[in-house]
Amino acid sequence: MNVTEIRDENGLKSKLVKIGICAVVLIIVFLAGFIPMWMKANSEAANHSITTKTLTRSEIFNLIATAIVDARRGEYESARQKTSDFYTRLDAQIQSGESSAYSNVQNESLKAAFTNRDAIITLLAQRDPASVERLTDIYLIYRRAVGESVTQPSNQTNTNSSTNTQ
């Protein structure tokens, strides 16, 4: 080997080292920009999932609430359709398991709402005013199952009156 060959070999090695260092620096710069964006995307995906579940719960709740209002107004067919949609969507959520908008405990509690499903839908189809009370019972079962506090309305009237006797 002569001196020029050694210089060319050392020059080639130094160029490869420079290219390697540039490649490593580029990878580091890329990761410095990519990692924060990846973390933000994961955070936003989690927020999206929570929002979607909350929306699903609200839509299902609104179906039963609207069905009660429709039944009280005498719009039994509309109430029947909303009640049917309520049961269909609620059943789909219960069957979806881990991706459900409800926890496992809530899913188990919500199954109680299905005990009189066919009877309620039949009452609505028959335009029976008793369906309103049955729908209200389902509404209360739903609210208890999802952890909302429910107070039973009192049928007693307040008979306390203040009278001034002197």
Q: What is the mean pLDDT of residues 84-110?
A: 92
Over the chain, what is the mean pLDDT? 85
- 76 Cβ partners below 8 Å, 6+ apart? 70, 124, 125, 127, 131
Residue showing tokens 């490869």: 16
CATH classification code of 3-145: 1.20.120
The reported pLDDT for the residue numbered 37 is 86
Band (pLDDT 50/70/90 cuts) for residue 148 is: confident
The reported pLDDT for the residue numbered 79 is 96
C-alpha–C-alpha distance, residues 128 and 155, integer Å: 23
Provide the b/e sequence for 64-77 (b: ≥16 CB within 10 Å): bbbbbebbeeebbe
pTM beyond cutoff 0.85: no
The reported pLDDT for the residue numbered 134 is 95
| CA proximity to 147, closest of 82, 102, 112 | 102
Cα–chain center distance at 159: 44
Q: What is the pLDDT of residues 10-47, one digit of tens each?
A: 777 888 888 999 999 999 988 888 888 888 888 888 88
11 or 64: which leads in pLDDT: 64
The reported pLDDT for the residue numbered 1 is 55
Task: Please compute, for residue 136, the number of CA atoms within 13 A of its CA located in the half-sphere on the CB side.
Answer: 12
Question: Backbone phi, then psi, for 103, in 5-degree steps?
Answer: -75, 170
Question: Backbone phi, then psi, for 91, in 5-degree steps?
Answer: -60, -40
DSSP 102: S
Q: What is the mean pLDDT of residues 60-72?
A: 96
149 or 128: which leads in pLDDT: 128
The reported pLDDT for the residue numbered 137 is 95
| CA proximity to 79, closest of 149, 19, 135 | 135
- The ranges assigned to domains in the chain are 3-145
| CA proximity to 94, closest of 23, 145, 49 | 145
The reported pLDDT for the residue numbered 162 is 43
Asked whether residue 4 carries a pLDDT value surpassing 90, the answer given is: no
Instruction: Tell me the C-alpha to C-alpha distance, in Å, between residue 83 and each of 4, 10, 76.
Output: 90, 82, 10
